[in-house]
Structures are given as C-alpha cells and as structure tokens.
A = this chain, B = another copy of it.
Amino acid sequence: MDKYFNDINHIPLFAGIEKSNFKSLLTCLSGKLESYDKHQTVLFSGDIISSFGVVISGKVQVIQDDYYGNNNIISILSPGQLFGESFACGGPTIFPFTVTTTKPSVILFIDCSKLAMPCRKACSFHSQIIQNLLSVISTNNRGLTEKMQFITKRSTREKLLAYLSAQARKADSHSFLIPFNRQELADYLSVDRSAMSAELSKLKRDGIIKYRKNKFELCVDSLSSDNV
C-alpha cells in the first residue's frame, strides 16, 4: 500500500500534507483504496455517489452515453486527478457518467460528508484537505468559465480572438506561447481544424495577428473594436 503514496505531494488534493500524516488522514476520512484491471468499470452512470475518486495510478476515462446510445469521452484522467467531486460534494447525487479504466488502476475514494465534518482529533491536515478540495474545484470552475467565454462566441474568428487576447492578457504581453498545437486548439475551441487554420491565415493577412508555430502575437495597431 505504501508504494502508492510516494508522491502524494504531486497530487493537488494532498498538497501540503506531510507524508507521515497521510495514513491517519486516510483513516480519518475513511478513504477506501480499490484496485481495478484494465477495462473495468469504476462507476456506472446513474449511480448515486457520496464519495469522489482520486486516481492514484493507471488511467481512467469518463464517458457519457447519451439518449441515443452514443458514447462521448468527457475526459481522460491521469494519476492525481479527481472524478465525481462536484457531484459528491453537492450531497448524494446521481452521477451521469460512466468511469472505466484503460489501464490497471488504483483509485482512492473519499467520502465528501466526512470531509466537512470537523473530526474528533481536530487534525490540522483536515482543514488543509478542505482548502485543497475547494481549490481544485474552484480551479476547475475557472477553467470552465474561461473556456465558456471563448466557445460561446459565434464565429471561429471571434473564438480565436477571444482566446488569443486572453492569453495575451495572462502573459501580460503582446506576444506569447500557447500550450496547444492546431488540432488541440481546434478541439478546445470546438471548431474544425482546417477552417480554423484558414481563419488564422486570414487574421494574419488582415494584420491582426502574427504567429509561427505556437508563438503568437497580437498586433497593437489593430486594437480597435472593429476587428472583434
């Protein structure tokens, strides 16, 4: 069991937790460790969950099977990532996705209701975990909110400009690197890659942006609202 916990500090949920405290923490939260083979189902869509999962090792997929029987991959999770947290933390809720392993995996389940309750021992790491969980969910939230701003734009051009200007703002510079290649950027903005590529060319031709590979630059002299 110990072997799994060598790098718990790389897991955002356990940031700032002493490794020596970790076992008692698990007891305190009644964490449950489960092992799965490849292609096993961890959670079924429709399950009512009050605990969330932490991927300790392996790899799992979160899948949505819709009304028409199509399977959509919602996300692919690597060690350190959570699933079900925003369902379990709102009281027992129906979980609308199916979680399956794509590699042999070890998963830690933590009961949400145990979390918020102050434990008898008033352990210091207890409040740390709560803060971490709040932080993880909040970060997730910010990511979704930000992405929403881009995707809700109607045209590819607007989506690109919204995305690029947000990156420029973050970098606090006209020029900046983006962490995506073209296909990934297209997926992120949910547009067609080739159409996006064409639109990028047009933006360049129009003198609004410059780019080369994943280095982009917003042209200052184009900063009028006409372009958006």
Contact = CB atoms under 8 A, between A and B. Distances in A.
Interface of A: 64, 66-70, 72, 74, 85-87, 89-91, 96, 112-113, 115-118, 122, 126-128, 130-131, 133-135, 137-142, 144-145, 147-149, 151-154, 161-162, 165-166, 168-169, 190-192, 218, 223-225, 227-228
A64 B130 CA distance: 30
B131 A116 contact: yes
The count of identical subunits is: 2
For the complex of A and B, the 9 pairs showing the least CB-CB separation, nearest first, are: A67-B165, A86-B138, A86-B141, A144-B144, A116-B131, A152-B190, A89-B138, A90-B138, A89-B134
Given A66-B166, A90-B139, A140-B141, 15 more contacts: A67-B166, A67-B168, A68-B224, A87-B138, A89-B135, A89-B137, A91-B135, A115-B134, A116-B127, A141-B144, A144-B144, A144-B145, A148-B151, A153-B190, A154-B190
